[in-house]
Amino acid sequence: MQRYFVSSDQINNHEQIVITGDDYHHIVRVMRMSEGDEVICSNGNGLSALCEIEQITNESVIARVIEWKEERTELPAQIYIAHGLPKADKLELVIQKGTELGAFAFIPFLAARSVVKWEEKKAEKKLERWQKIAKEAAEQAHRANVPHVYAPMTIRELVEFAKTCDYRLVAYEEEAKNGEAAALKTVLQQMKQGQSLIVVFGPEGGFAGQEMELFRSHGFLACGLGPRILRTETAPLYVLAAASYEWELK
């Protein structure tokens, strides 16, 4: 069944939901739904409503709430994926698949070895696209929440932001080469429900030495991700899958 995220101003007394914009277009033009069809509307705060379409106008779909349900599809702890800006559409892949795997939020940052340069004049459209990718992936995966995609930060802004998290890791390939295999597992086992973890990943060229010094001086623990060297777009997905295995498959 199709699922859509709605804001509080689209919900009338928890009894009726008005769907507009891109979701209206998807329901009417893409799915070609009609009155009497059912959809699921999620409020982004853990509640979803089974709804029946009552009316379709030229601008909106009006749906009657049949039943509200509390959903438990989120990871029990919050994982922030901080990623040095990679080339091409690799970050879009990380956002899409990372959302499916349960990431809480995504933080792009300007790494020393990032080939891609952030252009402010294109910033708004880029952020809108990233957020739309997260929303659509969250709907597909039946998430209760849509991960937030932050505007790119400098590395110093990132380490300051990380102080708000309970745990801080940086994925570093030199640790993998040296056989480090315990840090990620230890942190995941120590974390409790409701706590937060930020994991930092470098761009294609990895981290410069001064960046690793900065991370370590701000309480980040370097970790390996197994004996194989993973691509920049693969590494975040490895961490999220490991967290799901540790926390959810029991």
User: Average pLDDT, stretch 8-24?
Assistant: 94
Predicted confidence at residue 93, as pLDDT, reads 98
For the chain, the average pLDDT equals 93
User: Average pLDDT, stretch 147-172?
Assistant: 97
- How many CA within 13 A on the CB side of residue 14? 5
User: Average pLDDT, stretch 5-19?
Assistant: 94
Predicted confidence at residue 119, as pLDDT, reads 81
Lowest mean pLDDT: which of 4-13, 120-129, 165-174, 198-207?
120-129
The tens digit of pLDDT for each residue in 74-112 reads 999 999 999 999 998 999 999 999 999 999 999 999 999
> Could you tell me if 201 and 171 are in contact, meaning their C-beta atoms sit under 8 angstroms apart?
yes
Distances (CA, A) of 12 to 4, 15, 193: 16, 6, 33
Predicted confidence at residue 179, as pLDDT, reads 65
Share of the chain above pLDDT 70, in %: 98
User: Average pLDDT, stretch 184-195?
Assistant: 96
Instruction: State yes or no: pLDDT of 175 exceeds 80.
Output: no
Lowest mean pLDDT: which of 74-88, 105-119, 170-184, 189-203?
170-184
CATH code, 78-248:
3.40.1280.10
**Would you call 26 helix, strand, or coil by DSSP?**
helix
Predicted confidence at residue 117, as pLDDT, reads 79
Predicted confidence at residue 123, as pLDDT, reads 86
Question: Quick one: pLDDT band at residue 226, thresholds 50, 70, 90?
Answer: confident
Predicted confidence at residue 173, as pLDDT, reads 81
The tens digit of pLDDT for each residue in 144-156 reads 999 999 999 999 9
Q: Do domains 3-70 and 78-248 have the same CATH topology?
A: no
Residue 9: phi, psi to the nearest 5? -75, -5
Spatial CB neighbours of 110, under 8 Å, sequence gap ≥ 6: 84, 85, 118, 152, 153, 154, 155
- How many CA within 13 A on the CB side of residue 151? 9
Predicted confidence at residue 233, as pLDDT, reads 96
Q: Kindly report the pTM of this predicted structure.
A: 0.91
Question: Quick one: pLDDT band at residue 178, thresholds 50, 70, 90?
Answer: low
Predicted confidence at residue 145, as pLDDT, reads 93
Domain boundaries, the chain: 3-70, 78-248
Q: CATH homologous superfamily for 3-70?
A: Hypothetical PUA domain-like; domain 1 (2.40.240.20)
